[in-house]
Structure 1
Amino acid sequence: MTTDFSTSPFSGEQQERLSHLLAELRTDQIYWLAGYLSAYCANPQQQAPITKSPDQAVAKPALTVLFGSQTGNAEAIAEQLAAQANDQGIVAKVVDLADYKPKQIKQEQWLALVTSTHGEGEPPDNTLDFHEYMMGKKAPKLDALKYSVLSLGDSSYEFFCETGKQFDQRFSELGGTALTERVDCDVDYEELAEAWISKLLSTISEQSGSSAPTVSGVTSPAASAGESVYSRKNPFEATVLTNQLLSGRDSSKEVRHIEFSLEDSGLRYKPGDALAVCPENPPELVSEVIDVLGFDAKDLIDLAGDQHSIGDALTHHREITLLTPPLLKQWAELAENDELRALVSDSAELRNWSEGRDLLDLIRQWPAKGLTPQQLVESLRKLPPRLYSISSSQAAEEDEVHITVAAVRYNSHGRDRVGVASTWLADRLKEGAQVPVYIDSNKNFALPDNDETPVIMIGPGTGIAPFRAFMQEREERDANGDNWLVFGDRNFRSDFLYQAEWLKWRESGLLTRLDVAFSRDEQEKRYVQHCLAEQGAEVWAWLNRGAALYVCGDADKMAPDVHQALLGIVSEHGNMTAEQAEDFLRQMNRDKRYQRDVY
């Protein structure tokens, strides 16, 4: 390590002694010294002199906390772990896996990994290099490593928490020792994460022999004076200001623009963040479930020590529109049904049967005799919030937040179905209604700090939402970097979302380029990836100028198709092999120049 003393207040002799000391210290000793100096600066009069060298005293364990995160939840847990570790005398640092040098893993002694799983079992974008290294032949022996893994996922997906499972298995194969069993969290992760943190820190303290209290002055970060009290655990009741149809009357889709007031909430957001909405289940479905089971909607049940009616529990607190493998496994035992047990044992068949079905389908096909309201509630997972990309800039809209919502309505297995949050927002929330919300920050989808950086935005359908926020923000900041939007949908006349605003920005010069693809207006369907391929030379020119590239929307087809188009552009116009083109885009991802918000 080279230290720059050009602006140092130290004398030449002091600089030389300090350099020699730092060169001799182990990683855990440097962490200890950092904590000691932080405490000393906080309370210099209260610090006792160091009477023992670090080798004579019990060294504080140095914990590295790595996180792999697509939206920010894993990062928040990693920060929470590090704060509590420091409070307990364990010197901890948090590292984004995008910034972590994979070879450093062989130097680690105490390690915690918090990672989400993206899409159908894929690692988050910021873990790609580390994942590739650890799963490859160059991964080192980890006999000295003591580790623990917390996985975040969604049990409705086939490969639930797959990334965390892979890392846990690989660390073990390479000789690492698990400090605690891996914990796999569903969409409701807070309690499991808190229990994992508590057990992990207790285990580290026991195994390291470090039971000393934290150094005075080294504490977890306190909330800033202006920080909002509203969060996932305590959502804000936001008032609906506007709920208007955005798509045209002839559209085959229903897209709505909804505005909420955040006045007096203290909530702050940035372009790229999401608004988390805490929805209600469809009342008709709740009533049918209760009727089929023969319950009374007023029957009381216990939820975490509080009394609720079964009607209220199914409306506000439990997932009933989505069937997950854990629920189906529990139901097979409650129903004592061999047919369902056989289905549960075949993951592919189970996934096929579950697609497009809900709790009502399940209880009708396989009734559970003698089922009580309490048993039903305990078999269901919590109703998770729904996240919507914010389509406004707070710099422009101040105490408001806007979202763009496509109402989900379809028929499946002989019944009409609806999306939980989208139709609740579209049909039942008139102006003046109140909705529990909070801000879900996304550090991995943010505008460049440099306002001169060119930006390419690719967002078909409601994927256009965050780019409206981007443009409002750049307009407010008088950013002079070029902006290029590539948008696609079904029909020009009815589905060009926020058309007037985009045309206004193009006329003013804020929007430098606008390319569109409307798949149903032409005989041969044309999508955003076709726009990119047609303008490949220009895309390459923008990338060479340092442009940041953003993709928002469907993860299953659109995002992979766009990625393939980009690979083709880089390969052709950059004169690269396919492997070199992939490396080029990977480096853009590392540099935060290729960011995706896909779902």
Structure 2
Amino acid sequence: AGEAAADKAADLGPLGFCRENPVEAIFLGRRRLNEPGGEKETWHVEFDLRDTPISYEAGDSLGLFPANAPALADAVIAELGARPERVIGGKTLRDRLIADYSLGAAPDGLYQLLSLLTSGEARRKAKALSAGEDPDGDAAYLDVLGALHKFPGARPDAEVFLESLDELQPRLYSISSSPKMDAGKVSLTVDAVRYNHRSRLRLGVASTHLGERMPEQTRAKIYLQKAHGFGLPKDLATDVIMCGPGTGIAPFRAFLRERAATQAPGRNWLFYGHQRQASDFFYKDELTRMRDDKVLTRLSLAWSRDGTEKTYVQDRMRENGADLWKWLEGGAHFYVCGDAKRMAKDVERAIIDVAAQHGGKSPDEAVAYLGALKKAGRYQADVY
């Protein structure tokens, strides 16, 4: 049996290096990165890697299997009218809802099940929702509990109900530590997601699990996701420009710690921004110390809520365009991390503008310049 288990584990992929074969690591603790007065809640969290096979490089990501809030699982069980201690598949219903199933966006399978247990108008709506339609304009907000509330007459059997749900998926986070400086440990920089909808508090599953529910010294299932095309230059003398507002700073904290540990002679320039300097300057003491120690050559800050004008990282790039152009022409690598929808596109636009204004390039040539940086591996993005 032992050999069979070992073969099965080998089929899953390398232990600790894929989502199919995670390892357990001890959660060392958390500290809050915002000062009072900030609208967000952001945490620096650390795991102990010493008893795991995981090794990583700056630029890699960590996959984490979260757990649902017990209060949410209890509310779902109450809505089902089921017994929390009922054993299904070797675990209690309550444990399965906390650890194994997604209680986020209600899946089509759940609506199909609800359509079988309702009639008339309710059945029509459940069928429409299962087909991806939105009869009442609320589909985007319906999580599993919300869907059960919407069809209160339908009381599916707990086991059939579980079969209609999606499995709880791992979440990926950019690593914010350096293996050379933080040996045996890995850290993440995580925004705790919370919002109210229709008088119900909604919680980001993994982020609030890390930010508030997970007790220190407990074990969590994690795995390493290697970065492809996102890492420091091999030549330590190469200059590095990093652009990471908000939690986008995570990999760049890792980069700077790595550059300090390797005593890389290349220069380092960080563009960082958030809402307010007083509350949202993550890793402020550390970055200030790195600037004093000349590890961080330049630190350009942008605060969107401090003045009458909203200032973003791309505005700081344009303001410093002449120097930015000199760095790029000198062979610097450029990195961006964070929101793919808006911020990363705005940063690309700023580079194109800098190439046009300070490099004397035509609009087409400036666009081609950005393309050439990407092709050469000198413009790298970790966006989500």
Q: Calculate the TM-score normalised by the size of structure 2.
A: 0.90
- Name the counterpart of 2:369: 584
Superposition deviation, residue 427 in structure 1: 1.0
- Residue 394 of structure 1 aligns to a residue whose secondary structure is coil
Distance in 1 (alpha carbons) for counterparts of 2:74 and 2:258 = 45
- Name the counterpart of 2:6: none
The correspondence for 1:493, drawn from 263, 266, 278, is 278
Distance in 2 (alpha carbons) for counterparts of 1:335 and 1:449 = 62
Q: Deviations over 1:303-356 (max 9, x none)?
A: xxxx33221221111111223456546654565621233355565x47963333
Distance in 2 (alpha carbons) for counterparts of 1:535 and 1:323 = 47
Superposition deviation, residue 554 in structure 1: 1.4
Q: Does 1:244 align with 2:31?
A: yes
Q: Does 1:425 align with 2:225?
A: no
Superposition deviation, residue 410 in structure 1: 0.9
- Name the counterpart of 1:434: 219
Relative contact order, higher structure (CA 8 A, sep 6+): 2
- Name the counterpart of 1:281: 68
Q: Is the 8 A contact 1:245 1:255 kept in 2?
A: yes
Q: Does 1:454 align with 2:239?
A: yes
Q: Deviations over 1:422-477 (max 9, x none)?
A: 11111122332222111111122111111111111000111101101001111111
Distance in 1 (alpha carbons) for counterparts of 2:307 and 2:107 = 40
Distance in 2 (alpha carbons) for counterparts of 1:328 and 1:396 = 50
Distance in 1 (alpha carbons) for counterparts of 2:86 and 2:55 = 40
Distance in 2 (alpha carbons) for counterparts of 1:308 and 1:368 = 27
- Name the counterpart of 1:318: 101
The correspondence for 1:269, drawn from 34, 43, 56, is 56
Distance in 1 (alpha carbons) for counterparts of 2:49 and 2:16 = 13
Distance 1:473 1:228, change over 3 A: farther
Distance in 1 (alpha carbons) for counterparts of 2:136 and 2:272 = 33
Distance in 1 (alpha carbons) for counterparts of 2:283 and 2:136 = 37
Q: Is the 8 A contact 1:335 1:367 kept in 2?
A: no
The correspondence for 2:85, drawn from 276, 293, 298, is 298
The correspondence for 1:366, drawn from 142, 151, 156, is 151
- Structure 2 residue identity aligned to 1:290: I
Output aligned runs, 1:376-455, within 5 Å: 376-455=161-240
Q: Is the 8 A contact 2:108 2:131 kept in 1?
A: no
Distance in 1 (alpha carbons) for counterparts of 2:200 and 2:137 = 17
Q: Deviations over 1:110-144 (max 9, x none)?
A: xxxxxxxxxxxxxxxxxxxxxxxxxxxxxxxxxxx
How high is the sequence identity, in percent, across the aligned residues? 39
- Residue 272 of structure 2 aligns to a residue whose secondary structure is strand
Q: Deviations over 1:82-113 (max 9, x none)?
A: xxxxxxxxxxxxxxxxxxxxxxxxxxxxxxxx
Distance in 2 (alpha carbons) for counterparts of 1:495 and 1:269 = 28
Distance in 1 (alpha carbons) for counterparts of 2:320 and 2:111 = 48
- Residue 397 of structure 1 aligns to a residue whose secondary structure is coil
Superposition deviation, residue 228 in structure 1: 5.4
- Name the counterpart of 1:115: none
Q: Does 1:342 align with 2:125?
A: no
- Name the counterpart of 2:4: none
Distance 1:491 1:234, change over 3 A: same
- Residue 138 of structure 2 aligns to a residue whose secondary structure is helix
- Structure 2 residue identity aligned to 1:260: F
Q: Is the 8 A contact 1:357 1:413 kept in 2?
A: no
Distance in 1 (alpha carbons) for counterparts of 2:16 and 2:342 = 39
Aligned CA-pair RMSD: 2.4
Q: Deviations over 1:363-400 (max 9, x none)?
A: 11124735222221121111011111111001111101
Q: Does 1:536 align with 2:332?
A: no
- Name the counterpart of 2:5: none
Show structure 1 runs of 4+ deviating over 4 A: 227-231, 324-336, 343-347, 349-352
- Structure 2 residue identity aligned to 1:536: G
- Structure 2 residues not aligned, in runs of 5+: 1-10
Distance in 1 (alpha carbons) for counterparts of 2:173 and 2:377 = 22
Distance 1:332 1:587, change over 3 A: farther
Distance in 2 (alpha carbons) for counterparts of 1:506 and 1:456 = 14
Q: Calculate the TM-score normalised by the size of structure 1.
A: 0.59
